[in-house]
Amino acid sequence: MLKQVKNVTIKGQKKISSVLLFFYALEKKMGNLSQTSAPVYEALERFRKKRVVPFDVPGHKRGRGNPELRELLGEKCVNLDVNSMKPLDNLCHPVSVIRDAEELAAEAFGAAHAFFMVGGTTSSVQSMVLSSCKAGDKIILPRNVHKSVINALVLNGAIPVYINPQVDSKLGISLGMEIGEVAKAIKANPDATAVLVNNPTYYGICSDLRSIVKLAHEHNMLCLVDEAHGTHFYFGKNMPVNAMAAGADMASVSMHKSGGSLTQSSLLLTGPNVNWEYVSQIINLTQTTSASYLLLSSLDISRRNLYMRGEASFGKVQEMAEYAREEINSIGGFYAYGRELKNGSSIYDFDVTKLSVYTRDIGLAGIEVYDLLRDEYDIQIEFGDIANILAYISIGDRIQDIERLVGALADIKRLYSKDPSQMLNTEYIAPKVVVSPQKAFYAKDESLPIRETAGRICSEFVMCYPPGIPILAPGEVITKDIIDYIIYAKEKGCSMQGPEDPDVNNINVLV
C-alpha cells in the first residue's frame, strides 16, 4: 500500500511525512506487518527513493562533503546515514517504524518489550543495572562480570555483593553461578534488589538460569541476565535456555556478536513484570539522541533473518564448531572443551558454538597463539588470555575457514611448542572488596609503581581486553598474586586497559 502513494502530489499545507505515517498506520491496522517485515529498513528504502534535499545533519550530506568517506562506505551506505525525522521515527521516543520494529523483535525473542540499543551491549547492561538499583542498594552478581556492570555501579553508587565463582583449576576459567552460592548470598543480603547472571560466559559456560530466576523472584528480587553472547539461544535447537524463556526480568543481547547485525547494535529485552516505560527513561539518560539508522536497520534486518533462517543457520554453526573441536583435539596438546565439562552445578550447561581452546600444554599462552594466528597465518580470532583462545563461530563462517584454523593450530604446535613447566598458574584470583566502586573511583588517590601497590586499595580498573573482565576494580585490595598476574599478562602480550597509566607501569591507589 505504501508503494502506491509515492507518486501522489500533496497540495496545500499537508506534508508527505504525515501521509506516509497515515498509510503506515493503516497498513499496520490491516495486519500486514509480520516477522517477514523490517519496518525501519523499509522506511529507509522509501526515504532513499524520494531523493529528499538535506538541510539537516549529518553534515556530510549523503557523502557529498566527504568523498573519501563515500568511497570507503559506498553510495548507498552514506545515503542512509540520516537524521531522525517523522517518516523514520525517533529512537528516544518511538511512535511508528522503530516502535513496530521493536515490537517485532520482542515477539521474535519472546519478550514483553524490546529496546533497540546503539551504544553496544555496554549500554544495554548499564541500563539494566541503573533501572534495577540506586545509590546504596545491593546487587548480587558474579565477580567475573564485564566491566560495563561495574562501570554502572560507579555511576549509580549501588553496592556489589560478589559471588566469587568456582574455577576450573586446569583451564583457569571462571565457571557459572551455583544455585547454592546464590541462595547463600540472598540469605545474607535479603535487602538486595537484584541478581545479575552472566549467561553464557565468554567461554561458553552456562548457569542453572531457571533455578536462579525462581530463587530471585521468591525473594522479591529482579533477575538480570548479561546475555551478550547468547543471541543464538533464542533461535537454535538443542541450545541452553535463553533468558526470556527462563523467566528473567531483563536481558542484554549482543545482536552484533552471534546475531549478524552491525557492530555496536544491541537489544535490551524486558519481561512482563517490568515497567518498560521507566526503563525507557533510564535508557534515555545515557543513550545518544542521534541514533545511527545504519545500526537500527541492521538490528531490524538481522531480527528478520534470524526469525526466518536462524534455526537452520545455527544448526550449521553447531556442526562446524563440533567438527572443529574434534579436529583440534586430534592434533594433541590443545584441548577444545565442550559439553563434557557439564557437572549439573557450576557448569550447568555448555554453549557448543563457543570454540574455546586450552593452549597451555604446548607451552604457549593463549595470547601468544592469538598473536601467531594473526601475524603468521592471517587468522583473526576473538581473543587469547593466559591459557585459552576463543574462535568465535557464527552464521557467516564456512567449513573451509574451520579447516584453515585447524591447519594453522597444527602448524603452531609443530613450530612453536615450548616447555610449559615455567608458565604461570592461571587460576582466577578472588578479589577482596573493601570500598564501593563509586566511592573508590571518586576518592583522592595517588599513582604508584605497580610493584609498590601490594596491600593498597585500587581506585581504577585493570583488565585484559578482550574479554574485558576486570583483574582489579575500584575498591579492591591489590595483592602480590594480582600484581604478578598483571605483569605476566603484559609480558605475554595481553592488551591491558583501564588504568590512567596506558603502559600499566603505575596503578592509582587510595591515599
Tens of pLDDT along 2-24?
222 223 222 333 343 444 444 44
- C-alpha cell at position 351: 554453549
How far apart (Å, rounded) are the C-alpha atoms in residues 3 and 1? 5
Tens of pLDDT along 213-270?
999 999 999 999 999 999 999 999 999 999 999 999 999 999 999 999 999 999 999 9
230 to 201, 267, 309: CA distances (angstroms): 9, 12, 17
- Domain spans of the chain? 2-87, 109-306, 309-422, 437-510
Tens of pLDDT along 187-202?
999 999 999 999 999 9
Within 115-205, where are the H helices?
A: 120-132, 147-156, 179-188
Q: How confident is the model at residue 33 (pLDDT cuts 50, 70, 90)?
A: confident
Output the pLDDT for position 430: 79
Q: What is the mean pLDDT of the chain?
A: 92
Output the pLDDT for position 30: 41
Res. 31: pLDDT tops 90: no
Look at the domain 309-422 and name its fold.
Aspartate Aminotransferase, domain 1 (3.90.1150)
Output the pLDDT for position 3: 28
Res. 26: pLDDT tops 70: no
Mean pLDDT of 19-34: 54
Higher pLDDT, residue 31 or 380: 380
Output the pLDDT for position 423: 83
The helix (run of H) or strand (run of E) holding residue 174 is strand 173-174
- C-alpha cell at position 149: 556492570
CA atoms within 13 A on the CB side of 443: 21
Output the pLDDT for position 298: 97
Q: What is the DSSP string of 439-507?
A: HHHHS-EEEEEGGG-TTSBB-S-EEETTT--EEE-TTBB--HHHHHHHHHHHHHT--EESSSSTT-SEE
Torsion angle of alpha carbons 358, 359, 362, 368, nearest 10°? -170
- C-alpha cell at position 95: 511512535
- C-alpha cell at position 40: 525501519
Domain at 109-306, CATH from 3.40.640.10, 3.20.20.80, 3.40.50.10320, 3.40.50.2000: 3.40.640.10
Output the pLDDT for position 379: 98
Tens of pLDDT along 370-380?
999 999 999 99
Output the pLDDT for position 311: 97
Q: How confident is the model at residue 316 (pLDDT cuts 50, 70, 90)?
A: very high
Q: How confident is the model at residue 427 (pLDDT cuts 50, 70, 90)?
A: low
Cis, peptide link before residue 67, omega less than 30° from 0:
no
Burial of 9 (0-12, 13-18, 19+ CB in 10 A): exposed
Output the pLDDT for position 426: 63
What's this model's pTM, rounded to 2 decimal places? 0.91
Res. 465: pLDDT tops 90: no
Res. 329: pLDDT tops 90: yes
Look at the domain 437-510 and name its fold.
Molybdopterin biosynthesis moea protein, domain 2 (3.90.105)
Mean pLDDT of 272-279: 97
Mean pLDDT of 38-50: 94
Output the pLDDT for position 169: 86
Highest mean pLDDT (candidates 25-34, 354-363, 491-500): 354-363
Output the pLDDT for position 19: 44
